[in-house]
A and B are shown apart, each in its own frame.
Chain A
Amino acid sequence: MADLTRLHAHEMAALLRSGEVSSRQLTEAHLAVAERQNRALNAWLVIYRADALAQADAADKRIAEARHAGAAALSALHPLCGVPIGLKDLVSVKGGQATAGSKILKGYVAPFDSTVTARLREAGAVILGKTNMDEFAMGSSTEHSAYGPTANPWDLSRVPGGSSGGSAAAVASFHAPVSIGTDTGGSIRQPASLCGIVGLKPTYGRVSRYGIVAFASSLDQIGPFARDSRDAALLLHAVSGRDERDATSAPEPVPPELLGLPADDDEAASYLKGKRIALPREYFVEGMEPGVAARVREAVAAIEQAGARVEEVSLPHTDYGLATYYIIAPAECSSNLARFDGVKYGLNDRSSGEFIEDYLRTRGAGFGPEVKRRIMLGTYALSAGYYDAYYLKAQKVRTLIKSDFDAVWTAGFDAICAPCSPTVAFPMGAKMNDPVSMYLSDACTLPVNMAGLPGMSIPAGLSDGLPVGLQIIGAPWSELSMLRLARGYEAITARATWRDLDPAELTLTDDPNTPSPIERKERLAGASAAGSGGQA
């Protein structure tokens, strides 16, 4: 059989049911490539070989029993039964680690499964391991991981985006057909864009967050990465829905049609006819690379050519998004991360014999620079005398940003199409000394979180050999329509030459002489120290 790692999840589902391939074969194939290439990519923080194979065998048993029981039992199995998956390392898997990319959670062992984990187990998906991320999901490059950066398989000297960079790089590198990420300001969509895959941030409330390490609770959502829209839909279906353990999960029905996005390109393309697409002029931001803007406009033109009606619109408060987000998200994080006190779990330093000093030492040693920066910002914005000027003001502007989107839905548009990341993948180290330039990576994605809307990034071609993402933004609970739109775009560009290209430096990851991302980072640090005369 051809290389099993090149299959989409929906193709695996068909082969598993017909008995042409087993979950053990699929799992072995993906484990082998993930283990071989991880040194050069650092996409995985841990790979659970033995557990994964046991889950694969259990899935094979379920499939065999269902086949024996008849067609109805076979079709009742979730399409992800037996399909390998990666989870961002902030998703609790009972008995496994959940570092959230932080030293403060090193050695922590999750005593329970998250709801997402439980639902994936119920579906029969095979958990291969946990993926790298910016510490506590704060960052846009995965360079803020305490366990070293992740490399982008399109160019190993560049970042995969973040914070879910490990999950994105793993799927782009064929280590798994699908993976789970989280998105607070763009942490699924931006890495999907930079790695050339599909990433979807669902409507706030769509997926339960029970058992997920929290960052900013009014913004965080969990969602899928995949190499096409059909697979993203399958994974969204598996994890969505109301959960009594998360009061913010909504009692919104999960559309069964997510399991049936059209396989046929003509049928998929016909969905685009008559759809009304809004193109927000403010999203072509200052500093956007011309190649990115060009690919996005070409993608929108292709959708228009296929029968959609595209109209330019204004989202007038877009420019206020960055400042608003960087008050609200740090404020919520400063509160959420207060729990890391060295008492219940995680790193602890009790050497001072004095409890306040113990907190200071534990948290000072356990958190990295970006997390400290955000806790400081958030604590300041919430502190006496500044609450009205910063936090309350930001919440009011949040209302205005949300109203901008509401007006688009009221005007009858089906979706918004926009750029996702203003740039293609940038070189490691390029933005590490300038937090504001890093924050600008999410200028086009974070308004969507503030409005609680679903958003996704889909591949729309290359600029200078690096992937560009098209962002699709929908009204609340419209994920199915967005995925149909994405599937339509895939259909009309099915023959585009860029669709056949592998990530340009993927083959280098098999070469033992290729430096690891950690070595690259050390070289960069050495070069910058030499450049500044060697002064510390």
Chain B
Amino acid sequence: MASLTRADVEHVAHLARLGLTEEELARLEGQLNHILDQYAILATLDTEHIPPTAQTIELANILREDVVQPSLSVDAALSNAPERSESGHFVVPAILGGGDGA
């Protein structure tokens, strides 16, 4: 049986960069454990010699000529940015000298 503790749920939420309320954390603890219980069925299968499947069509190494092709203009790419600089960049919050360093 799965046994995700409240501390585990908080840790995963932080890894996922999800700010959750007390109520959400409490509800998720129960729901995630219930869902993880459903996964237990997989342990009953012997898969030691089975290769994993990551994708289902047999395509590999799709290449093209290395030539410049039209793409979005800087203006279009920045058109939804909450904050942009006059020189054509996304403005992001300062990441040095603040934060928890995680």
Given contacts A356-B99, A375-B18, A452-B57, contact A112 B76 (CB under 8 A): yes
The answer to whether B19 touches A364 (Cβ under 8 A) is yes
Number of residues from A at the complex interface, CB < 8 A:
69
Number of chain B residues whose Cβ lies closer than 8 Å to a Cβ of chain A: 55
B15 CB contact (under 8 Å) in A348, A377, A379: A379
Question: In the assembly, what is the distance between CA of A380 and CA of B11, in Å?
Answer: 9
Query: Is A498 in the interface zone, CB < 8 Å from B?
Result: no
> Which listed residue (B42, B80, B82) contacts A324, Cβ 8 A?
B42
Q: How close is A379's CB to chain B, nearest CB, in angstroms?
A: 4
Do residues A344 and B42 form an inter-chain contact, with CB atoms below 8 A? Answer: no
> Across the interface, do B56 and A452 meet the contact criterion of CB distance under 8 Å?
yes
**Which A residues are in CB contact (< 8 Å) with B19?**
357, 359-361, 363-365
Chain B residues with Cβ below 8 Å from A377 are 32, 35
User: Which of these, B16, B47, B64, B81, contacts A400 with CB under 8 Å?
Assistant: B47
Residues A451 and B56 in contact in the complex (CB < 8 Å), given A372-B24, A376-B18, A379-B12:
yes
Q: Mark B43-70, 1 if CB is under 8 A from A, else 0.
A: 1010100111111110100101000000
A354 within 8 A of B: yes
* B99 close to A355 (CB less than 8 A): yes
CA of A308 to CA of B29, assembled, Å: 51
Contact B52 A204 (CB under 8 A): no
A304 interface contact, C-beta 8 A = no
Say whether A390 faces chain B, with CB atoms less than 8 Å apart.
yes
- With A204-B56, A350-B93, A379-B15 as given contacts, are A247 and B99 in contact (CB-CB < 8 Å)? no
Segment among A36-44, A315-323, A523-531 that sits at the interface with chain B: A315-323
User: Which of A199-239 touch B at CB < 8 Å?
Assistant: 203-205, 218
Q: What residues on B are CB-neighbors of A250 within 8 Å?
A: 57, 59
Is A397 an interface residue, CB under 8 A from the partner? yes
Q: Does A326 contact B (CB under 8 A)?
A: yes
Q: Which among A248, A348, A358 is the interface contact of B55 at CB below 8 angstroms? A: A248
Q: Are A397 and B45 in contact (CB under 8 A)?
A: yes
Q: Is A494 an interface residue (CB 8 A)?
A: no
A-B interface contact total, Cβ < 8 Å? 168
Mark A406-437 against chain B: 1 for CB-CB distance below 8 A, else 0: 00000000000000000000000000000110
Q: B34 to chain A: which residues have CB within 8 Å?
A: 435-436
Residues in chain B near residue A344, CB distance under 8 A: 80-81, 90
- With A112-B76, A205-B59, A342-B82 known as contacts, the answer to whether A395 contacts B18 (CB < 8 A) is no
Question: Does chain A have a CB within 8 A of B7?
Answer: no
- A489 contacts partner chain B, Cβ-Cβ < 8 Å: no
Closest B residue to A452 by CB, please name it: B56
Give chain A residues whose Cβ lies under 8 Å from the Cβ of B64.
244
Q: Does A373 contact B (CB under 8 A)?
A: yes
Chain A nearest Cβ from B37, distance in angstroms: 9
* Contact A395–B52 (Cβ < 8 Å): yes
Chain A residues in 8 Å Cβ range of B41: 319-320, 323
Within 8 Å of chain A (Cβ to Cβ): is B100?
yes
Given known contacts A355-B94, A372-B24, A402-B56, A396 and B47 CB-to-CB distance under 8 angstroms: yes
- Report the Cα distance A31→B30, complex, angstroms: 45
- B26 close to chain A: CB less than 8 A: no
B42 touches A323 (CB 8 A): yes
Q: Are A436 and B35 in contact (CB under 8 A)?
A: yes
B79-A111 in contact (CB<8A): yes
**Which B residue sits closest to A400, measured CB to CB?**
B50
Q: In the complex where A111-B72, A323-B38, A397-B42 touch, is A380 in contact with B12 (Cβ < 8 A)?
A: yes
Q: Could you list 17 further interchain pairs (A-B, Cβ under 8 angstroms) beyond the known A218-B54, A334-B16? A: A111-B80, A204-B57, A320-B42, A326-B38, A338-B17, A353-B93, A355-B98, A356-B99, A358-B93, A376-B28, A376-B32, A379-B12, A393-B47, A399-B50, A402-B53, A452-B56, A452-B57
